[in-house]
Amino acid sequence: MKKTAFITGITSQDGAYLAHLLLNKDYTVVGGFRGLSNPVFSRLDELGITNKIRLVEIDLLDSGNLTTIIKEVKPTEVYNLAAQSFVSHSFRNPVLTGNVTGIGVTNLLEAVRMTDKGIRFYQASTSELFGKTQQFPQNEETPFYPCSPYAVAKLYGYWMTINYRESYNIFASTGILFNHESPLRGIEFVTRKITDAVARIHSGKLDSFDIGNLDVKRDWGYAKEYVEGMWKMLQTDKPDAYVIATNEAHSVREWIETCFNIIGTTIIWEGSGVNETGRDEKTGQVRVKVNPDFFRPAEFNLTIGDYSKARRELGWEPETKFAKLIEIMMRADLKRNE
Ligand code: NDP
Ligand code: GDP
């Protein structure tokens, strides 16, 4: 029988790639979007799938609305991708983030529990759960030390997912996904902010851009491959938690240097701390400036994930790593700015 997937956060980067993957697997895909006056489906448009998805208005803050939708859609699988997902924003809006990213998970789990306990449930957890923990690389057994309102809200969602599995025997799994990027990544996140800015510098539309902490290292993978991990987690015999990562860490500084290399520019760093700048080696023009406005109230220097459980139990492995990922994203942003 044809399966039906209900995806919350269908307008997100991951929502678009997951919907694309599931349509190719012959699922009926129903996507929940926020009932704003002007919802943006540009990511679905870019993948050419907007018309293949049934779009329904939802809000994770409204449990009644979620229950009505789940009862009507009768999904086989529910993927909860919706969240207030930007860490910086979570420091400025901690209560909203707690409500959407944390309590929102319970609203959806309740809707599943009250409708059909046979529905398989995926919760989008994050490497931000590990935060300041000093164990590397991080796996499913690593202790959590979340250090932003976003990460604390996600930790609540993580445990509620496990609680609904243990209390009600719901097939509820969660992926602890490390940062994953793509040409569809939101412009507020550091990787896409940089590929977009470097492409605009290349086309003469921008002189320079500001940046925060240059030396944090992150484990960055390709979103298109990470959604395959989500799907695989709901096809197993028993629900569980899995780390999805590349097991490589690189700094924001390296990301910037590699992007500029693609347009034939070498960046030379000068100064230190808040006075550090990056100049074009040939022309001497300042292209990057450190701006403390982009520093975070709490920060951690490194994430690196050990995905061996996902490889062993799901047969999942990343193919696209740092340099290749940057090439894909730069190519897309250069094209957008031609
Ligand atoms: P995005 O930031 O691109 O999108 C977030 C989505 O949540 C949007 O579709 C947004 O809708 C929706 N949303 C926000 N508030 C609500 C609400 N109250 N009710 C319903 N929907 C809402 O997400 P990503 O694709 O980057 O990530 C997908 C999920 O994975 C998120 O939960 C994120 O926290 C998590 N994650 C992401 C990682 C990454 O590196 N990308 C790493 C680990 C976890 P709208 O368009 O209306 O704003
Ligand atoms: P996050 O890991 O979900 O917070 O993803 P981001 O892409 O927003 O941030 C990744 C890392 O890059 C964090 O440690 C940020 O502090 C760091 N960073 C440095 N400069 C910037 C910047 O200008 N914007 C953003 N978003 N992050 C930055």
Q: What is the pLDDT of residues 34-91, one digit of tens each?
A: 987 788 899 999 999 999 999 999 999 999 999 999 999 999 999 999 999 999 999 9
Residue 334 CA to ligand 1 centre (angstroms): 25
Catalytic residue from among 8, 17, 128, 164? 128
Determine the residue type at 5: A
Q: Are 185 and 114 in contact (CB under 8 A)?
A: no
Q: What is the pLDDT of residue 113?
A: 98
Ramachandran area for residue 284 (φ above 0: left; ψ -120 to 50: alpha; else beta): left
Q: What is the pLDDT of residues 217-269, one digit of tens each?
A: 999 999 999 999 999 999 999 999 999 999 999 999 999 999 999 999 999 99
Say which ligand is closest to the CA of 59.
1
Residue 110 DSSP SS3: helix
Q: What is the pLDDT of residue 115?
A: 98
Alpha-carbon distance of 44 to 51, in angstroms, equals: 9
Alpha-carbon distance of 288 to 2, in angstroms, equals: 51
User: Is 150 assigned a catalytic role?
Assistant: yes
Provide the 8-state DSSP code for 302.
Answer: B
Write the burial class of residue 149 (CB in 10 Å: 0-12 exposed, 13-18 middle, 19+ buried). buried
Closest CA to 214 of 244, 174, 256: 256
**Relative to the CA of 43, which ligand 1 atom is closest?**
3
pLDDT at 188 over 80: yes
Q: What is the pLDDT of residue 264?
A: 98
Q: Tokens 């059909």 — which residue? A: 116
For residues 2-27, give the mean pLDDT. Answer: 98
228 Cβ contact list (under 8 Å, min separation 6): 21, 316
Q: What is the pLDDT of residue 85?
A: 96
Residue 248 DSSP SS3: coil
For residues 6-13, give the mean pLDDT. Answer: 98
The two tokens of residue 113 are 């529990």
**Relative to the CA of 85, which ligand 2 atom is closest?**
3
The two tokens of residue 307 are 């995905």
Closest CA to 122 of 170, 189, 69, 194: 170
For residues 287-304, give the mean pLDDT. Answer: 96
**Which pTM was predicted?**
0.98
Alpha-carbon distance of 228 to 223, in angstroms, equals: 9
Q: Which residues line ligand 2 (CB under 6 A)?
A: 87, 179, 188-191, 193, 211-213, 216, 218, 252, 294, 296, 299
Q: What is the pLDDT of residues 299-324, one digit of tens each?
A: 999 999 999 999 999 999 999 999 99
Q: What is the pLDDT of residues 191-231, one digit of tens each?
A: 999 999 999 999 999 999 999 999 999 999 999 999 999 99
Q: Peptide bond before 137: cis, by omega within 30 degrees of 0?
A: yes
Q: What is the pLDDT of residues 127-162, one digit of tens each?
A: 999 999 999 999 999 999 999 999 999 999 999 999
Residue 8 DSSP SS3: strand
Residue 24 CA to ligand 2 centre (angstroms): 33
Residue 58 DSSP SS3: strand
Closest CA to 170 of 124, 116, 126, 123: 116
Q: What is the pLDDT of residues 94-112, one digit of tens each?
A: 999 999 999 999 999 999 9
Closest CA to 99 of 149, 36, 65: 149
Alpha-carbon distance of 44 to 36, in angstroms, equals: 17
Q: What is the pLDDT of residue 220?
A: 98
Q: What percent of the chain has pLDDT over 90?
A: 98
The two tokens of residue 259 are 């992007």
Closest protein CA for atom 6 of ligand 2: 189
The two tokens of residue 134 are 């000093």
